[in-house]
Structure 1
């Protein structure tokens, strides 16, 4: 929801409820579909040193958009990949912040 505020013309989220449903759908897709895509794309992922994972994350966001419908839309696939990169960066920063000291 916060990322959609930064890109109002490129990412449309109708409400907080839609964002919650989209998060749930994305979680289920990441649990069921993403492992299959990662296994199928191992050769290209190896050749790109793991950067193809960003494309897979963008695909998962686009698939979420298709499942949710008009309440959750990206203007293009490139925007979905940009959001995937931003989500990865924010997730990494949050994980580092809450990491337990060793």
Structure 2
């Protein structure tokens, strides 16, 4: 439970930091970032597998690159559900998902090395 809480807080912090570098993303407050982290987790848990299943032929044909579009769609859905989180278009959403994924991997790896 503690590990899950830390991951949500790290994701929320990254969601607050990334818009300083990507001008197509707007996050109003830390509570908004926290909500984005939670909603994104729920969307990735329940909705994303359905999208992946239905788009499996396209994903296979594109050698997995279509998963970037699906990740962007999850960010756009999160934009729809969370007030105070604004993404200009799917391109910014895909870029945001790439940067978020890479930064999460880096932070998680750094925190695991300290153990």
* TM-score normalized by the length of structure 2: 0.77
Distance in 1 (alpha carbons) for counterparts of 2:105 and 2:64: 16
| Number of the residue aligned with 2:102 | 89
Partner SS state of residue 88, structure 1: helix
Q: Higher helix fraction: Structure 1 or Structure 2?
A: 2
The answer to whether the aligner puts 1:62 opposite 2:76 as a matched pair is yes
Cα displacement (A) at 1:15? 0.1
Structure 2: 5+ residue stretches without partners: 1-15
Superposed CA RMSD: 1.6
Aligned residues: 98
* TM-score normalized by the length of structure 1: 0.86
Distance in 2 (alpha carbons) for counterparts of 1:99 and 1:41: 34
Structure 1: 5+ residue stretches without partners: none
Structure 1: 4+ residue segments shifted above 6 A: none
Counterpart of 1:2 (choices 17, 27, 46) is: 17
Q: Deviations over 1:48-69 (max 9, x none)?
A: 1111111110000000000113
